[in-house]
Amino acid sequence: MGPPGAGKGTQAKYIAEHFGIPAISTGDIFRANVSDGTPLGVEAKRYMDAGEYVPDEVTNRMVRNRIDEPDAAEGFLLDGYPRTLAQVEELDGMIKFTGHQLDAVLSLVVDKDEVVSRLLQRAQIEGRADDTEDVIRRRQEVYLDQTEPLIQVYKERSLLVEVDGLGEVEEVTKRIFDALDVVPES
Ligand code: ADP
């Protein structure tokens, strides 16, 4: 977890690689559907371009299908999901059904101004449609309103692992591995 621009996607790849599990990014799946022009992509694009969340039932169905894939049988890392309280409940139901359990909820703690400037920089490099200044602001608001409360929920479940997300990518990865008590291979 972490606000837009916290570096979730970047760190997710390293963690998933370490554990030999897929990193499942809802944002990436949505973007792939948008570029393929699928019905899901057409629907999701309207919300994404405005910085709003895609409706829960659409997102939930997509995650449910994804974690049913064979490569996720032994475990998976979710990046960008759950993002609403309804998604938390839905995820609980899904993994109860598949027989998985949550080992940890990792929260990348970052400074708000710093992440906005990261996102503006990324906008120039990657040209993501939702990386314009107005949309970035809206995404931050939506995060604070709908997703930040989830941190408390997972704290109460004793699953929350908070890591300082500021600094070099490798430095943050090291903090994550330390916090998760894993020894990186390289
Ligand atoms: P960010 O950099 O904002 O974390 P992501 O790539 O994770 O971006 O997500 C991009 C967009 O995809 C979000 O702004 C939202 O519209 C949509 N999205 C991703 N995950 C979810 C989710 N769990 N629920 C609803 N919408 C989502």
Tens digit of pLDDT for each residue in 82-131?
999 999 999 999 999 999 999 999 999 998 888 888 888 887 788 777 77
Query: Quick one: pLDDT band at residue 175, thresholds 50, 70, 90?
Result: very high
Catalytic residue among 13, 122, 138, 175: 122
Q: Known catalytic residue: 8? A: yes
pLDDT of residue 141: 93
User: Which H or E element spans position 24?
Assistant: strand 23-25
Catalytic residue among 64, 128, 138, 175: 128
Q: List domains and CATH numbers for the chain.
A: 8-176 (3.40.50.300)
Report the separation in Å between the CA atom of 53 and the middle of ligand 1, taken as the mean of its atom positions. Answer: 6
Q: What's the pTM value of the predicted model, to 2 decimals?
A: 0.90
Buried b / exposed e over 17-55, threshold 16 CB at 10 Å, is ebbebbbbbbbebbbebbeeeeebbebbbebbeebebbe
Judged against a pLDDT cut of 80, whether residue 67 lies above it is answered with: yes
